[in-house]
Structure 1
Amino acid sequence: MQLRAQRDQRDPQAKRAKRLTRVLVGAAAVPVMLVAAGCSSDSGSGDGKDKAAEESAASKSASPSPTVQAAAFRKLPEACSVVTKKTLDDLVPKGDSGKEGSSNDTALRASCSWDSLDDNGVKGSQFRWLSVSMLRFESDVARGEGDKLARDYYQKQLKDAQGVEGAKSVKTAPVSGTGDEASVVRYDLKKKEGTFKQQTVVARVENVVVTVDYNGAGLAGDKTPDADDLVKDAQKAAKEAVAAVTKANGGTGSEKPGDKPGGKSSGSPSASKTPSDAASQSASASPAKSG
């Protein structure tokens, strides 16, 4: 009986010890499970960020490259043939064949000039100088569409003509029926040889800018030419040059503003020299021939 009582006293203690052990073991296992769950959660978050970055990179690589509308005209006519022989006979009656300007790419930039000295002996001389220059602008992704670049250059040419050093009585007027837009700048320029009447017609047709310079002077006592007549002559030459540009690109040469004959291109041209300087140089040199 005594032994059984002792066993009964020991058994509850043993049972309590076993239960305590199980509780402690279970409590120790909880942090391990929490840590494992935390690691699993972090791993899933990182995978999501990487996936989002990959999708963003793929989206950027799939984006289309920037484009720009191709320019309408892709070439220029031969510069010395843009004005008809009849017009040349009227504007530079004693002139020789045209002098083609230098250009590293005549499809982008071309020019031609003519000069005439009608020597009337003791009555003096009549001097004329005509220049036609053409500049074609190609479309470029970085710089923009060709016709926009041509419009900007058109405005620059007008500003340059209006700001010639020594010019007197400067007047600017629009010119109709010549390309998409055109204007004439006229002024007087006094030189030691006489007073020169200068006309500059600037015209734009699509992505090409045509600049016509025409000046005249009465030298050695001859009368000064009528400026209005010279303006009409310059406008006629400009109209023919614009028509030649259109025809060279598949048009008939008689399109109205807004018509667009075929032609595509891309790139950008270099700037051309202002023709007014060359006109003054030629006019200064030619009178010496008359003695």
Structure 2
Amino acid sequence: MHRPAQRVGRAPRLTRILVSAAAVPVVLAAAGCSSDSGSGSGSGSSADNAAQKGTAATSSASPSTSADAVKPAAYATLPAPCSVFSKKTLGELVPKGLKSAKSGKSDDAKDRSSCSWNSLDNKGVKGSQFRWLNVSLLRFDSDATRGEGNQLAQTYYDKQVKDAQTVTGATGARSEPVSGIGDASTAVRYGLKKKEGSFKQQTVVTRVENVVVTLDYNGAGLAGDKAPSADDLTKAAEKAAKEAVAAVASANQDGSRATTAPSQSASPSKSASPSKSASPSASASSKPSASASATKKN
């Protein structure tokens, strides 16, 4: 009777051992499932990481793609303004003023420049012939914020044409596009009466790539002399404008062309500032009076 009691007493212990042993695979299985689940989560994270890296790569590429979208300015410099015309051309437009060249003031000659000439052919009692010639050049850089140099130049070109078409006191104004000069060219002509005489003004505005050339040429018959032909003056002005455009291209043949990187500055460059470059357009309205003062000096 005593031994059976002992067996009965050991039975719960054996049962606990068996239950514990049976529980081990369950724990291991659970651990395996947990491990598999973790592995699956890990592979998903890798995929997410790869996607994030791809997004980051795309994001980092975006700025460079945006910058590349702004083309560099075609022309990086300007010619010396007082040397854009040949001696022959000056002899035709300002025959008595070959040595009268006067360069305009500029804080940066590669971005803005100008030069003027005046000629007075005094024939005594037979009267006098007066001529005045001015060329202004303005260059625009490409800018990541403001746009390409060509577009900025086109905007300024349009403004110059409009200014020439709306000069106060102009009479008989007419304008027409000119073919064969730069990428866009317009000739504007009109008359202006001053106390010294009747002046005939010709303004030829031309855009070539990122440069705007504004050529002003006026003439008058003074002291009773016959007024010059507006057609002849316009033809001469257009010829001179074409020569000025060729000088711009020639000044950039040393490798400056198409090598200027787009500016990253958010502020307008000095060369593109309309306020500082207003003098060429503003001078269109004041040229006859300027030429009149030159006449007085002579």
TM range (shorter): 0.7 to 0.9
Alignment of 1:127-206 (within 5 A): 127-206=130-209
Shift, 1:181, TM fit? 1.5
Shift, 1:98, TM fit? 0.8
Shift, 1:230, TM fit? 0.4
The answer (yes or no) to whether the contact 1:70–1:264 under 8 Å persists in 2 is yes
Residue-pair matches, total: 277
Using the alignment, how far apart are the partners of 1:281 and 1:158 within structure 2? 20
Using the alignment, how far apart are the partners of 2:285 and 2:167 within structure 1? 9
Using the alignment, how far apart are the partners of 2:58 and 2:240 within structure 1? 55
Q: 1:144 to 1:224 in 2, by over 3 A?
A: same
- Tell me which residue corresponds to 2:101: 98
**Residue 283 (structure 1) aligned to one of 286, 291, 294:** 291
Q: 1:249 to 1:54 in 2, by over 3 A?
A: closer
Using the alignment, how far apart are the partners of 2:58 and 2:232 within structure 1? 65
Root mean square deviation of aligned Cα: 4.0
Shift, 1:136, TM fit? 1.0
- Tell me which residue corresponds to 1:263: 257
- Tell me which residue corresponds to 1:120: 123
Q: 1:169 to 1:250 in 2, by over 3 A?
A: same
Read off the aligned partner of 2:125 and give its amino acid letter. Answer: V
| SS of corresponding position for 1:94 | coil
- Tell me which residue corresponds to 2:247: 244
Q: 1:109 to 1:265 in 2, by over 3 A?
A: farther
Shift, 1:142, TM fit? 0.6
Q: 1:122 to 1:138 in 2, by over 3 A?
A: same
Q: 1:280 to 1:265 in 2, by over 3 A?
A: farther
Read off the aligned partner of 1:69 and give its amino acid letter. Answer: K
Matching of residue 88 in structure 1 with residue 90 in structure 2: yes
TM-score normalised by L of structure 1: 0.75
Query: Bigger shift: 77-86 or 117-126?
Result: 117-126
What's the CA shift string for 1:82-122, capped at 9, x where partnerless? 01101111111111331011111111111100001111112
| SS of corresponding position for 2:72 | coil
The answer (yes or no) to whether the contact 1:219–1:287 under 8 Å persists in 2 is no
The answer (yes or no) to whether the contact 1:139–1:265 under 8 Å persists in 2 is no
Shift, 1:124, TM fit? 1.8
Read off the aligned partner of 2:188 and give its amino acid letter. Answer: V
| SS of corresponding position for 1:63 | helix
Read off the aligned partner of 1:285 and give its amino acid letter. Answer: S
The answer (yes or no) to whether the contact 2:194–2:289 under 8 Å persists in 1 is no
The answer (yes or no) to whether the contact 1:76–1:108 under 8 Å persists in 2 is yes
Identify unmatched segments of 5+ residues in structure 1: 1-48, 252-260
- Tell me which residue corresponds to 2:228: 225
Q: Percent identity?
A: 58
Using the alignment, how far apart are the partners of 2:286 and 2:160 within structure 1? 15
Q: 1:289 to 1:102 in 2, by over 3 A?
A: closer
Using the alignment, how far apart are the partners of 1:51 and 1:178 within structure 2? 55
Question: Which structure has the larger Rg over C-alpha atoms?
Answer: 1
Using the alignment, how far apart are the partners of 1:204 and 1:53 within structure 2? 47
The answer (yes or no) to whether the contact 1:138–1:265 under 8 Å persists in 2 is no
| SS of corresponding position for 2:240 | helix
Using the alignment, how far apart are the partners of 1:286 and 1:74 within structure 2? 34
- Tell me which residue corresponds to 2:63: 64
Read off the aligned partner of 2:62 and give its amino acid letter. Answer: S
What's the CA shift string for 1:109-161, capped at 9, x where partnerless? 11100001111112221110000111111111011111111111111110010
Shift, 1:56, TM fit? 6.4
- Tell me which residue corresponds to 2:19: none
